């Protein structure tokens, strides 16, 4: 039962932080920034927020996370104003590369699928030529 409650709290914190980030006017934060996971400790003192930035440039992804960490106090204050929770957690943003990693795996699988699709056609053409001879 406690894990269900913690999951609901984590999702609510994630939704609220996401709203705050969307409303921020910081040019260092990429517009293609998404929160993937939020883990709030049981005592509500700390929150670890995993951020995924959809950008090819590694420097922009890192600078977006650094800008979010720089604005963590403001985001934490806004979180406290918007949510009614016992304690406002101290927020730490971390770069999450799982989505970029899964996109890369998908590209590799697509390339393998394309090469498999062309390979049988070449073999059947060679078999057909051998059958004619």
Residues 79 and 16: beta-carbon distance below 8 Å: yes
Residues 45 and 90: beta-carbon distance below 8 Å: yes
Residue 1 confidence (pLDDT): 44
Is it the case that residue 118 has pLDDT exceeding 90? no
Tell whether pTM > 0.85.
Answer: no
Residue 58 confidence (pLDDT): 86
Residues 27 and 93: beta-carbon distance below 8 Å: no
């Amino acid at each position: 039962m406690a894990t269900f409650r913690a999951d609901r709290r984590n999702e609510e914190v994630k939704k609220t932080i996401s709203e705050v980030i969307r409303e921020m006017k910081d040019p260092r934060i990429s517009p293609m920034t998404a929160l993937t996971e939020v883990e709030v400790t049981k005592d509500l003192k700390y929150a670890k927020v995993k951020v995924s930035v959809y950008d090819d440039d590694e420097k922009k992804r890192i600078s977006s996370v650094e800008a979010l960490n720089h604005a963590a106090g403001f985001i934490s204050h806004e979180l406290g104003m918007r949510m009614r929770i016992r304690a406002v957690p101290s927020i730490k943003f971390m770069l999450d590369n799982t989505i970029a990693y899964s996109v890369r795996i998908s590209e590799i699988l697509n390339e393998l699928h394309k090469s498999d699709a062309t390979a049988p056609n070449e073999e059947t053409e060679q078999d057909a030529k051998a059958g004619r001879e």
